[in-house]
Amino acid sequence: MTKEQKVVPFAVLFVLLLSVAWSMIPFKFADVVNCKAPLFGATPTNSAPPTSFIDPVKDCLSKGKSRLSVSAVTAFVAVLAGAAVLSFKPISSSCAGGDHESCREWWLAAAMGDAGAGLGCQCECHAVDW
Ligand SMILES: [Zn+2]
Ligand SMILES: [Zn+2]
């Protein structure tokens, strides 16, 4: 394991903590309604002015849900990316063994785009022009 890879679990943990914190802080809807933290039900703590078209209970809940999904996706991606970095081998075992047909690791880098450059199998059998 490289020095960089040893940092990965801490980086993943940090992102996980951030995403949990993100779902535990109260937020504001449309600058008028204060909503409780998404994780605690996202209930409104004050009502909107009658002239506004805001339904505090509904709007807090839907914004709270979207915040929850953002933090869930963030945590999910962090864990996936961390696992990808930790499993990083320049050349997959199938390619190293000469069995290029069964190599399935190159697509990881392709799927991750720039972030995944250098993460997937680096065997030259995958160096095809798309
Ligand atoms: Zn190969
Ligand atoms: Zn390969």
Does the global pTM surpass 0.75? no
Instruction: Dig out the tokens for 66 from the structure.
Output: 């979207």
- Distance, CA of 101 to CA of 94 (rounded, Å): 8
Measured in Å, residue 3 CA sits from the centre of ligand 1 at 26
Distance between alpha carbon 65 and the CA centroid of its chain, in Å? 16
Instruction: Indicate which ligand has the atom closest to the C-alpha of 98.
Output: 1
Give the Å distances, CA to CA, from 42 to 30, 31, 57, 63, 121.
14, 15, 8, 8, 44
Residue 101 and residue 79 share a domain: no
Q: Are 38 and 65 in contact (CB under 8 A)?
A: yes
Q: Final residue of a domain: which of 73, 88, 103? A: 88
- Distance, CA of 89 to CA of 119 (rounded, Å): 7
Residue 121 and residue 65 share a domain: no
Q: What is the pLDDT of residue 6?
A: 79
Measured in Å, residue 83 CA sits from the centre of ligand 1 at 22
Residue 78 and residue 34 share a domain: yes
Q: How many domains does the chain have?
A: 2
Residue 65 and residue 12 share a domain: yes
Residue 46 and residue 93 share a domain: no
Tell me the residue range of the domain where 75 lies: 1-88
Measured in Å, residue 80 CA sits from the centre of ligand 2 at 20
Instruction: Indicate which ligand has the atom closest to the C-alpha of 92.
Output: 2
Residue 110 and residue 71 share a domain: no
Q: What is the pLDDT of residue 106?
A: 65
pLDDT 10s per residue in the chain (130 long)? 566 777 888 999 999 999 999 999 999 999 999 999 999 999 999 998 888 889 999 999 999 999 999 999 999 999 999 888 877 657 777 888 888 888 876 666 667 666 655 556 777 787 765 5
Question: Cβ contacts of residue 2 below 8 Å, gap of 6+?
Answer: none
Measured in Å, residue 7 CA sits from the centre of ligand 1 at 29
Residue 40 and residue 101 share a domain: no
